Amino acid sequence: MNVASTRFGPFDVPRESLLTFPSGLLGFPEWTSYVILDHDTDAPFKWLHCAEEASLAFVIIDPALFNQHYQVTISPEARFEVEGNETDELSLVVILTIPSNDPTAMTANLRGPLLMNPRTRRCKQLVLSEDYPTRYPVFSAPNHAERSQSLTPAEAIPA
């Protein structure tokens, strides 16, 4: 499948690599097909690029890389929507906001993580309680120094 991208130019992806968000993402319910791009294989960041809209892409990351205490309870309804069974290893990533003038001020949306089922390629954006911030500071996170894997400002993806 050919995917248009205003950021990366056109590229081809196998249809089986597409992720489906049946309900879309918050604010973008009409776009349901996405692909994950490894723009820089040495960095922990990835791109979630919409396969249907050339200008729609998000930077995502595994939240365990900057917050080891972040835990989410997956409801049976969410597991059902991603067609997950009891043996599926579901993945969770969060969307980052990276200011172009200061990548070290990046924040993560911990209230709206993305639940992914690698087996079925079905995904869902969860909406958690207000106890979780939508702008959690990645580099000034309380347990930033405790992380097992170092994440440095130099690894930030330029906008």
CATH number at residue 26: 2.30.290.10
Give me the domain span that covers residue 150: 2-155
**CB 29: neighbour CB atoms within 10 A?**
11
At CA 45, angle to CA 97 and CA 66, rounded to 5? 75
What is the mean predicted confidence (pLDDT) over 115-133? 96
What is the mean predicted confidence (pLDDT) over 25-53? 93
pLDDT at 85: 87
pLDDT grade for 39, boundaries at 50, 70 and 90:
confident
CB 57 within 8 Å of CB 45: no
pLDDT at 159: 38
**CB 53: neighbour CB atoms within 10 A?**
17
CB 43 within 8 Å of CB 154: no
Number of domains in the chain: 1
Q: Which of 91, 86, 76 is nearest to 122 (CA)?
A: 91
> DSSP state, 147?
-
pLDDT at 139: 87
pLDDT at 154: 45
pLDDT tens profile 72-103: 999 999 999 999 888 889 999 999 999 999 99
The rounded mean pLDDT for the chain is 88
Percent of residues, the chain, with pLDDT higher than 90: 77
pLDDT grade for 141, boundaries at 50, 70 and 90:
low
Residue 28: phi and psi, rounded to 5, are -135, 55
Q: Which of 55, 20, 24, 23 is nearest to 36 (CA)?
A: 20
Residue 103: phi and psi, rounded to 5, are -60, -25
Q: Which run of H or of E encompasses 94?
A: strand 91-97
Question: Is it the case that residue 36 has pLDDT exceeding 90?
Answer: yes
pLDDT grade for 64, boundaries at 50, 70 and 90:
very high
Give pTM, 2 decimals. Answer: 0.86
